[in-house]
Structure 1
Amino acid sequence: MTLEDEDIKTIEKFALQNAVKYGQPPQVGAVMGRVMGQCPHLRPKAKDVTAEVQKIIDQVAEGKPDVWQQRLEEIAPELIEELNTKKEPEKGLKPLDVTEGERVVMRFAPNPNGPATLGSARGMVINSEYVKMYGGDFIIRFDDTDPQTKRPLLEAYEWYLDDCKWLGIEPDRVVKASDRITLYYEYARKLIEMGHAYVCFCEGADFKKYKDSCTPCPDRDRNPAENLEHWHKMIEGAYEEKSAVLRIKTDINHKDPALRDFGAFRIVKATHPRPEVGDKYVVWPLLDFEGAIEDHELGMTHIIRGKDLMDSEKRQKYIYDYLGWEYPKTTHWGRIKMHEFGKFSTSALRKSIEEGEYTGWDDPRLPTIRAIRRRGIKPQALRKFMVDMGVGETDVSISMDSLYSENRKLIDSKAKRFFFVPDPQKIEIIDGKHTVANPPLHPVENMGNRSIKVDNIVYISREDAKELSIGSLLRLKDLYNIEIVSTQPLRAKHIGDSMDEAREKRPPIVQWVAEDNLHVEVLSPEGVFTGIGELQIADEIDKVVQFERFGFCRIDNVKEKEVVAYFTHK
């Protein structure tokens, strides 16, 4: 498959721009990222593009900076100007380091001890976006080999896949580590036979003393045959929990104690929640070992992981070196802190749900994708929010307002408007007109109008009512003007319909709900708001609407004249 002349020129200009900027020939991945971002039609031709990029880089490498500058001025002077213009930090994804002919394979590897959180969404979106950018493969791998401390939740496996689907992500493969225990056993056997692993019988406190003093454990120099015998006994269940650990030999004098002879397998006599696994195994791999093996077996080319896992990477590289493997290219990113949620852990959330503090994993107060979905956040907004955040080692502290802003762009023109009155206060219009109000369903878009029958009773919010006194004037939005004639009880008289008169006298314009209404309960991160709303809200189930002066809400369910809505955002 050949490339068009214009495509080749695009590759050349981005290669030259990179060379001029950094004073040296560019990396293939850096040019690929710019080209694929600029020319999405080339993504299916990734192999041909990579070859052409390498060819052009080789040509660039033969020249010097003044030659690069001159050629770039000839074919793309605007890119020279771009380099000379001080810009805001770029949002989005930096290019990966991709070598010629390399098929990018990346993964997202959650522990399914609860549903996906906003942090999980970052891993899902960014890895899948990179794979899409380079025309590679995306794998979901469930790291579910801890049946006790981080015990998997059976429903969570499907929840993750459902959230992926909602986000528009289709994994090329789904792997459950608990299905592959015998694979890990086989690699453990190889490492034992090679003399790189041993069974340690030290108590935890004793081993720590050995490790901290750079002293070999008494079991460290046992011969491979004896270690294999102990290993088989571990697998057969001959030893009790915590009595034996399979360790990987490293540099016992390493300056970092965390890298000295780390644990690879431990005994856990707990039944795995997946019935296919159950009580088949009593020896389980620790995450550093399982992840190392799987990243090789599944052909990972690139890994994005938290910078707090750098020690894990260093431990895993011992396994790769022993087995003669090449470690994937790794990028680290900092933690995300959402102002509205602070620190959270799936285990702690699970405990709080079980204790009844939250209604479930989709409680609007929780930072789970299930909760975000139920509140009416669109997947496109969440994807853009994550991509714009980019990948960097700096810890990110960000407000949900950024996500809400993206979502507002998507829903504002489509969300119908309705009146909702929290904490309602009744007003009797003593000479009220029996009429029909026709407020617009949207202030700008041509969606038509609502039809609301009005008698002599309306409700406004207690907040709007508390400052009223005899003689106060109000404009009932899209209805008519009233004057308060009594506060105990609250009564008013109709004083005209004209909006022009209302503008002239400048009374407060308040929302209202007619006597025939719905009871509405709004669940939000700040708590529960109860009030009343228009009858037509009942027709909007599973849609996002705007309760005027309150915010956007998704109508979750309707039963008779009872409505439950989830607060989306302002």
Structure 2
Amino acid sequence: MEEIRDLIEKYALQNAVKYNAAPNAGAVMGKLMGERPELRSRAKEVSPLVGEVLARVEKTSPEEWKRRLEEIAPELLVQLSEKKEPDKGLPSLEGAEGGVVMRFAPNPNGPPTLGSARGIIVNSEYVKKYGGKFIIRFDDTDPVKKRPMPEAYGWYLEDCQWLAAKPDQVIVASERIEQYYPIAEELIRRGGAYVCRCPQAAFKEHKEKGIECIDRGQSIEENLDLWKKMLDGTLKEGEAVLRVKTDMHHKDPAIRDWPAFRIVTAPHPLVGDRYRVWPLLDFESAVEDHLLGTTHIIRGKDLADSGSRQRYLYSYLGWEYPRVIHWGRVKIHQFGSFSTSKLRKAIEAGEYSGWDDPRVPTVRAMRCRGIRPEALRKFMIDLGVGETDISLSMDSIYAENRKLVDPEANRRFFVWEPVALEIEGDVPPLARAPLHPTDDRGFREIPAGNRLFICRSDLEGFRAGDNIRLKDLCNVEITSLEPARARFLGKDMGKRTKIIHWAPLDGVRVIVMKPDGVDEGIGETGIAEELGKVVQFERYGFVRVNKIGEPIVAYYAHR
């Protein structure tokens, strides 16, 4: 019992020091039973002993708790002093010690989304960690359903560069079709593939019932002849596909005799009508991973079937399949789906102004809004590569970005929904406002005078007789709301006076594009000097100035 008493004292002191309060009996009992599970059957006997020890500890001071704990269990005091951070970042890759070959393989039917950015950043980061090669591979072999956009190839490379993830090699699958045909022929020769001429609906029924297609029993010579007819145009679109033999009784119908090649006569945006037999993604991707020496693949757990299908191909050809890491989906509340196909349809329908519209989850939009690549990189790396689906808010990215832009962003006045305010008295003709509140980088001069603009929302919160301060200018008393009028009170800062910002009468027209709408108003003329920069519109938020003209156009970043 004396040994048990010592354990109770140790855990009581640890609990007391941790929370700087009298020890909690339940927490101490839980620790005790965790270390000595044989005591669980004696809980009624042990409980009074816990109460006795805790009563003794409670009578001593916090200083005595710490001194006594250091005396009897210094290791627990060390644990308390070590602040434990939640597990973040990228876990180690098994088998990566000698270097890695990692790839990110988009279909270029639009620019990178935030989902794409995660793949680009994480794959490139692993290559930086272990050494090796980072490859961007365009899986662009579907000229119809996921038709590539010629511009998107360049957009991906631009965004990779911006994200500090410049690839070591760029591969375009549609330009390498000739390499796939001999591999398909070898697969046929090894008995791993056959030409299926079943109508699509008929084969679907076979697949669901686990019935073998009549063409599955064709000889190798027959399949090679039919393969040649697919290539030379004898067989027409829709008349035949090359299938990989798997197990027609596999518990998952998606694995059963999957299609590797089909005939497509639609021209491809890059290579035109040079080819008429195109590989499907599972074949093209599997072959490229082998040809490129890919060591590790990171893919969504929803694509686990791809690995199951591709392993049949690797088995027939005697190849070694890369190591695979499956990760969960990331959903960001403000955007929902990252589907490029859906975004493309919405843009074509006029729902968005383009791929850089602040309402869409593309990297281009993030750039236009003033989100820094360093913020995106840290955010994506901290997410890790776990299989758990993640649902989070853009606020996490904004918090990282704010740390980067706040020290650099000049301050400017912007008044949305402007209302003219007439001021009676000797209002200074010019205001001198700091460009930054903490960094001594000088002042901006803003024309003032007896007529200024303020926000309607500010005016609606006032009553006649209220005293307010126009930031960096003067104090006034509101004398009327309709029309908006005030009386000059002086230039000194008043106590407990509400401070609002304002804009000069001859300011510039500004439009701010936001994820949830558009704000229009008047800003100080110095905004025209901030093209391409992130600034803080005081009492509004951080924006990036994207266009100088009439009007100036800025994209909203965050508060």
> Which residue is equivalent to 1:540?
530
The one of 512, 528, 547 aligned to 1:522: 512
> Which residue is equivalent to 1:7?
none
Q: Distance in 2 between matches of 1:219 and 1:261?
A: 12
- Tell whether the 8 Å contact from 2:114 to 2:338 is kept in structure 1 after alignment: no
> Which residue is equivalent to 2:305?
311
SS at match of 1:271: coil
Q: CA deviation at 1:251?
A: 1.3
> Which residue is equivalent to 2:391?
397
Q: Distance in 1 between matches of 2:508 and 2:450?
A: 18
SS at match of 1:220: helix
Of stretches 292-301 and 442-451 in structure 1, the one that deviates more from structure 2 is 442-451
Q: CA deviation at 1:242?
A: 2.0
- Superposed CA deviations along residues 398-428 of structure 1, whole A, max 9, x for unmatched, are 1111111111111101101111110000001
> Which residue is equivalent to 1:349?
343
Q: CA deviation at 1:84?
A: 12
Tell me which amino acid in the other structure corresponds to 2:398: Y
SS at match of 1:129: helix
- Superposed CA deviations along residues 252-292 of structure 1, whole A, max 9, x for unmatched, are 22121111111111111110001xx1101111111000011
> Which residue is equivalent to 1:181?
177
Q: Distance in 2 between matches of 1:526 and 1:119?
A: 21
- Tell whether the 8 Å contact from 1:422 to 1:529 is kept in structure 2 after alignment: yes
Query: Does 1:513 find its partner at 2:503?
Result: yes
SS at match of 1:215: coil
- Tell whether the 8 Å contact from 2:355 to 2:365 is kept in structure 1 after alignment: yes
Unaligned runs of at least 5 residues, structure 1? 1-76
> Which residue is equivalent to 2:552?
563
Q: CA deviation at 1:85?
A: 7.0
Larger radius of gyration: 2
> Which residue is equivalent to 2:60?
none
TM-score, normalised on structure 2?
0.84
Figure out how many residues of one structure are paired with residues of the other and give that number. 486
TM-score, normalised on structure 1?
0.83
Q: Distance in 1 between matches of 2:444 and 2:198?
A: 75
Tell me which amino acid in the other structure corresponds to 1:252: M
Tell me which amino acid in the other structure corresponds to 2:99: R
Tell me which amino acid in the other structure corresponds to 1:331: I
SS at match of 1:439: strand
Query: Does 1:220 find its partner at 2:216?
Result: yes
Q: CA deviation at 1:508?
A: 2.2
Q: Distance in 2 between matches of 1:109 and 1:83?
A: 45
Q: Distance in 2 between matches of 1:374 and 1:155?
A: 18
Q: Distance in 1 between matches of 2:80 and 2:485?
A: 68
SS at match of 1:450: strand
Tell me which amino acid in the other structure corresponds to 1:227: N
- Tell whether the 8 Å contact from 2:530 to 2:545 is kept in structure 1 after alignment: yes
Change (3 A) 1:333 1:430: same
Change (3 A) 1:248 1:492: same
Runs of 4+ with deviation above 4 angstroms:
80-86
Q: CA deviation at 1:507?
A: 3.3
Q: CA deviation at 1:432?
A: 4.0
- Tell whether the 8 Å contact from 2:115 to 2:338 is kept in structure 1 after alignment: no
The one of 303, 314, 317 aligned to 1:320: 314
Q: Distance in 1 between matches of 2:78 and 2:161?
A: 42
> Which residue is equivalent to 2:37?
none
The one of 111, 115, 122 aligned to 1:119: 115
SS at match of 1:438: strand
- Tell whether the 8 Å contact from 1:552 to 1:568 is kept in structure 2 after alignment: yes
SS at match of 1:219: helix
- Tell whether the 8 Å contact from 1:458 to 1:514 is kept in structure 2 after alignment: yes
User: After superposition, where does 1:376-525 map in structure 2 within 5 Å?
Assistant: 376-499=370-493, 502-503=494-495, 506-525=496-515
Query: Does 1:96 find its partner at 2:93?
Result: yes
Query: Does 1:255 find its partner at 2:228?
Result: no
- Tell whether the 8 Å contact from 2:109 to 2:340 is kept in structure 1 after alignment: yes
Q: Distance in 2 between matches of 1:314 and 1:156?
A: 30
Q: CA deviation at 1:486?
A: 2.5
Q: CA deviation at 1:83?
A: 12
Tell me which amino acid in the other structure corresponds to 1:519: R
- Tell whether the 8 Å contact from 1:432 to 1:493 is kept in structure 2 after alignment: no
Q: Distance in 2 between matches of 1:81 and 1:497?
A: 56
